[in-house]
């Protein structure tokens, strides 16, 4: 039996921008070992596997080296695939059962809104190796379940960072979100990048899960509930964020299909 696999660029409406994810629409359950092999074969930051259930879809995410508990861009890509390929009608909600609980996606015009759990941080002291690895002056350092989140002085610093990944990998928490407030003449409230060598990804192009951490962080600093954010990787991507201080974060992004194929089982 063949399994359909689709490559989607998420958090963009332009092919070859944003964050690419593979979405495998399963015809039958598969083992975690099989899914990990497919993710390694695809060699993208994430490969998503969706399986129809009585109520919604089961959704799992794998990097080339490991399964992860939450991934925003691959969820966005999965929801896009369900509507684009006719598994769901435009007015239907995509309900995903995941290791992070129930996640929902809604189609809103050209945008997809994701309903995700907020990821709260606590203030910490950065290890000297983190400062050295980033090569930038750090204003604030917090930590959460994703890793470190550090604020630097400007968007240009975020854009121009060239981390020492070997040194990052040596840390007990090797993954780090780097962020700053947007430039005064910019449409973006804040910018960020996400370095994740601990997940087998030196840099993730656009990261929904990171914005679940960034939303509470910037909500507290800027006293705002809605943001337009830019992840300043080489590919780049736009994320709209709504957060009112509660337990859920609403992320909006666009997506575009760039490739379709079949896996031979």
DSSP the chain: -EEEEEEEEES-SSTTSSEEEEEEEESS---HHHHHHHHHHHTSSEEEEEEE-SSSEEEEEE-SS-EES--HHHHHHHHHHHHHTTSS-TTS-EEEEETTEEEEEEEETTEEEEEEE----EE-PPPHHHHHHHTS-EEEEEEETTEEEEEES-HHHHHH----HHHHHTSSS--EEEEEEPPTTSS-SEEEEEEEGGGTEEEESS-HHHHHHHHHHHHHHH--SEEEEEE-SSS-EEEEEE--SSSEEEEEE-EEEEEEEEEE-
Q: Catalytic residue at 262?
A: no
Residue 54, token pair as written in the block: 């009585």
CA dihedral for 236, 238, 243, 249, sign (positive or negative): negative
Instruction: Determine which one of 27, 33, 41, 46 is catalytic.
Output: 46
Widest CA span in the chain: 54
User: Which residues have a catalytic role annotated?
Assistant: 46
């Amino acid at each position: 039996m063949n399994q359909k696999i689709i490559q989607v660029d998420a958090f963009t409406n332009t092919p070859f921008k944003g964050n690419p994810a593979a979405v495998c629409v399963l015809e039958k359950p598969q083992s975690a070992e099989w899914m990990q092999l497919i993710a390694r074969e695809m060699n993208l930051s994430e490969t998503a596997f969706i399986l129809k259930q009585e109520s919604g879809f089961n959704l799992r995410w794998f990097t080339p080296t490991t399964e992860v508990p939450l991934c925003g861009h691959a969820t966005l890509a999965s929801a896009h695939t369900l509507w684009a390929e006719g598994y769901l009608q435009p007015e239907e909600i995509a309900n995903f059962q995941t290791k992070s609980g129930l996640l929902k996606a809604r189609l809103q015009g050209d945008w997809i809104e994701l309903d995700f759990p907020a990821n709260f941080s606590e203030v910490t002291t950065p290890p000297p190796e983190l400062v050295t690895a980033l090569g930038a002056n750090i204003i604030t350092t917090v930590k959460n379940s994703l890793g470190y989140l550090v604020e630097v002085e400007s968007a240009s610093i975020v854009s121009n960072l060239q981390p020492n990944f070997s040194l990052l990998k040596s840390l007990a928490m090797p993954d780090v979100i780097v962020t700053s407030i947007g430039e005064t003449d910019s449409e973006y409230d804040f910018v960020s990048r996400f370095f994740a060598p601990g997940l087998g990804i030196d840099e993730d192009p656009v990261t929904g899960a990171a914005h679940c951490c960034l939303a509470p962080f910037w909500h507290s600093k800027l006293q705002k509930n809605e943001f337009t954010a830019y992840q300043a990787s080489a590919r780049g991507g736009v994320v709209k964020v709504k957060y009112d201080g509660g337990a859920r974060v609403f992320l909006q992004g666009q997506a575009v299909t760039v490739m379709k194929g079949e896996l031979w089982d």
